[in-house]
A and B are shown apart, each in its own frame.
Chain A
Amino acid sequence: MTARYSLTRIISSLIAVGVVAAAVPAAHDLTTVKVAQAADAAPSGDSAIMRRLTPQQYQRIVSDVFGVDTEIQGRFEPVPRVAGLLEVGTGQVGLTSSGFQQYYTIAQGIAAKALDKNHRDVLMPCKPASATAPDNACAQQFLSKVGELLYRRPLTQDELKMQVDLAGQGATTMKNFYNGLSLSLESMMVQPQFIYRQETVVPSKTKPGTFELDAYSKATRLSFFFWDTAPDRALLDAAKSGSLDTPAGIKKQIDRLEASPRYEDGVRAFFTDMLQFDQLDLVGKDATLYPNFTRNAVDDAREQTLRTIADHLINQNGDYRSLFTTRKTFLTPMLGSLYRVSVVSDLPNGYPEQWTAHEYPDGDPRAGILTHISFVSLHSHPGRTSPTIRGRAIRETILCQKVPDPPGNVNFTVVQDTTNPLYKTSRERLKAHATEAMCTGCHKITDPIGLALENFDSDGGYRTTENGAPIDGSGTLDGKTFSNAQTLGQVVSEMPAATQCLVRRLTAYGLGREVPATRADWLKGLQETFAKEGYRVTDLMKTIATSPEFYQSGAAS
């Protein structure tokens, strides 16, 4: 049994007993079926990979399809970070009953707004013969148009018939055409075809005996990779025409996607995931120690780094490695109060979010995104810094190196006591802590690089002393010496692991899984091309997306 037919019965039951009452138990069926389906994936045209939409992707699709003023009220279930990426984790999550209920509640709100009097005339391609009775022809026009954008492929005849029937039954029961249509819209938005990015594989036309994504799945993979949203009409048309089955057709679409302003959304989404900036939502600081670290400041800090990345990689087409050394960034007055830099907004009071280009002068301790508030505050404790956490973050997020978790019986007393007069600085406390044999090994990996960032307090503010003692930021990273955060950035930028990590993360992000060892040669080739092209991320993304490997089925391998 497929999920589609299971849902047919569910939707019938919605009509029979009332939508809300039936929606929650339906989730059990949905989850069970989809998980089984994924496990049984086979290269026969069935779904091979399913990734649940992230909240940002869901929001973008809703805005694209129904209008930018449609806001999502509610939160989705969390996704685990796998292989350093939530995007990989989205391929490994099911849906609980309460999670389904949340999707349903959100879908109700969106459908109601999309079809209210203020919006329906824009969205509807037709007018019903009567607003108080079913009109299957008009409903079909609307549902096939919207359904293709939501499902990222044309609806099958069965799917369309089911939704049109549902709209008709709803219109009859409620004596309102639009309410009936709204019911169908709600139902489509809780279907796995919408909530999950389903990818379908077919036998390869160019390499007999192998399998690859079908055209619509290619369109979906491309669109989410470059824009972090569902394919637009042009991409769906390209899939329909068969042009995505040719390298030239794919290249043409990639060029179009990259040229769009929406490309920046895709780049931002990737780096948000790679740098784990979703965790910034959970960051809080002791307000007594760090009074300027407010919620708005956190939001600005995240935006500062993403804006810096987007400008450097897209607008300037800069070298990826320079992100760790660049002195150019963007600031708001809010961030200026944390960085202690004069930042002017010429907007009236109440609009402090105005962004200003800023370049730190030579000799300034700030250089590169590792010195941004976003990075150092995210990887700190609420009341103090943590060279260990910061060092681990650089190892794991920037260099793709795994740092073991600490054993469960570690005594952290010495590290946590910032008032001990014997150990005034983090370096001194960690040195004392590292005398415990079980700790020494890992701390050697993390602490030297984390200590380079000690000039930046837990809130990102600059400091030269801790408890009156001078801060020493010097150390070594895999044999390369540095004297402070500035030179650490230089060392990181020159490490092959940094660029290799980006290639590894970017491919995993696009594929929804890490590239298997059997395709190590592809990764190696990408790395070589990346280097040859001066470490330009846009070029790397285009190289990845034009690779046949990007569309080959996981099942086939």
Chain B
Amino acid sequence: MNDNLRIALAGNPNTGKSTLFNLLTGLKQHTGNWAGKTVDLMAGTFTFKGISYEMIDLPGTYSLFSNSKDEEVARDYIVFEKPDITLVVLDATALERNLNLALQVMEITEKVVICINLIDESEKMGISINEKILMKRLGVPVIKISARNKIGIPMLLDTIDRLIKGNIPCNPYKMTYDEETEMKIEQLIPFVQNITGEQLSARWLSLRLIDGDKSLLKEIEQRLAKKDAI
């Protein structure tokens, strides 16, 4: 086991995750302007203020609801490998669609930092983003950056450092569903907790059960079986 803190990079395809990854880790992972470039997990390391981090570049996805292999890879990493921080990289020029993924990640894990990339591009397009309001509404740190032009990177690293040391709170906004769904979640949570204990978010798992997410159930079954075998 290594004792590096793990940071997972999540985000829509083509939002600059790999550019940020290369910038921070100093690696030269291939970046390209097409979807599906990152199919496997890539890991690199960097050190900031005496703390070693391992950074994992997840495949770019629009969602974590397992429509495809890369979504499963990204979801499984966040759900089961539990990175210390999940850094969600958003495209400043298409925030609406990008925030969809951010909300999904925030349902799974508490320790989320949102990183709005391509901020120079969006400013050119006349889009201005008020990250303070976003931060307030989402309950997690929101940092504007440009990975390509190295804007906002010190701020991002500092935020990660402060979050790890517990100096900034992280209370991700939790989506409230309609009454019927919320009632069913309430009913399911005790059963889910009975099986998986505290290791996974019972609320999120209950939601996936209601949604009938079979691929997730299969994954959990396999992982629980492995644990029992040990």
A and B are partners in one complex rather than unrelated chains: no
Residues of A within 8 A of B (CB): none
